[in-house]
Amino acid sequence: MKIERYICDIKDCGAKDVKQVLVDVCFVTEQSEGRGVKPYIERARLDLCSDCREKYLRLLPLVGAGGQGLNDYTWRNLTTEDEQ
Ligand SMILES: [Zn+2]
């Protein structure tokens, strides 16, 4: 029997009110033996608590806006937002 653990996947977070989300992660190791490699983007299915989802959103570098299949993608200007 598979035991489900509903705890946030972020190391040392431990919060329990989680939701499963697909997020892009910057991996720094290859996945079979965990050897260090040049960082690459890979999607992962994680259980994240609301605080960690909020934090992920705040840190996402690409912003999309639009409708009906027409989206503009821009780099978030972190410097400007930090100054506000
Ligand atoms: Zn968390």
Q: How far lies 67's CA from each of 43, 60, 64, 71, in Å?
A: 24, 20, 10, 6
In the predicted model, what is the mean pLDDT of residues 5-27? 94
> Alpha-carbon distance 77 to 80, whole Å?
6
For residue 14, the CA-to-ligand 1 centroid distance in Å is 6
Average pLDDT across the chain, whole number: 90
Residue 40 phi, psi (nearest 5): -140, 160
For residue 11, the CA-to-ligand 1 centroid distance in Å is 8
pLDDT tens-place string over residues 42-66: 999 999 999 999 999 999 999 999 9
H or E segment and range at residue 50: helix 50-59
- CB under 5 Å of ion ligand 1: residues: 8, 10, 13, 15, 49, 52
pTM of the model: 0.76
